[in-house]
Amino acid sequence: MEQLAAIGIFLFVLFLLLGTGVWVGLALLGVAFVGMELFTVRPPGDSMITTIWTASSSWTLTALPLFIWMGEILYRTRLSEDMFRGLSPWMMRLPGGLLHTNIVGCTIFAAVSGSSAATLTTVGKMSIPELRRRDYPEPMVIGTLAGAATLGLMIPPSLTLIVYGVTINESITKLFIAGILPGLVLASLFMLYVALYAIVSKRYNPRPEPPMDFVQKLKNSRFLIPVICLILLVIGSMYLGYATATEAAAFGVIGSLVLAASQGSLTFKTFIDSLMGATRTSAMIALILAGAAFLSLSMGFTGLPRGLANLIADMELSQFQLLMALLAFYIVLGCFLDGISCVVLTMAVVEPMVRSAGIDIIWFGIFITVAVEMAQITPPIGFNLFVLQGMTRHEMSFIARAAFPMFLIMVLMVFILIAFPELATWLPENMRTR
Q: Assess whether pLDDT exceeds 70 at residue 420.
A: yes
- Nearest in space to 102 (alpha carbons), one of 180, 181, 194: 194
Report, as an integer, the average pLDDT of 399-424.
92
pLDDT band (50, 70, 90) for residue 233: confident
Amino acid at 22: V
Amino acid letter, 391:
M
Q: State yes or no: pLDDT of 305 exceeds 70.
A: no
Instruction: Answer for the pair 425, 360: CB distance below 8 angstroms, yes or no.
Output: yes
pLDDT of residue 102: 87
Per-chain mean pLDDT for the chain: 81
Higher pLDDT, residue 391 or 398: 398
For residue 208, is the peptide bond before it cis, meaning its omega torsion is within 30 degrees of 0? no
CB 160 within 8 A of CB 172: no
pLDDT exceeding 90 applies to what percent of the chain? 12
Q: What is the mean pLDDT of residues 279-296?
A: 78
Is residue 180's pLDDT more than 80? yes
pLDDT digits (tens, 9 = 90+) for 330-377: 887 777 666 777 787 778 778 888 888 888 999 999 999 898 888 778
**Residue 193 pLDDT:** 94
- Tell me the backbone φ, ψ of residue 59, rounded to 5 degrees: -65, -35
Q: Would the pLDDT of 208 be above 60?
A: yes
* Integer angstrom CA distances of residue 25 from 253, 306, 341: 27, 24, 8
- The pLDDT of residue 307 is 64
- Residue extents of the structural domains in the chain: 2-429
* Whole-structure pTM value: 0.78
Lowest mean pLDDT among 87-96, 252-261, 302-311, 326-335: 302-311
- For 395, counting Cβ atoms within 10 Å of its Cβ (0-12 exposed, 13-18 middle, 19+ buried), the class is exposed
What pLDDT, on a 0 to 100 scale, did the predictor assign at position 196? 93
Could you give the CA distance from residue 404 to residue 303 in angstroms, rounded to a whole number?
A: 39
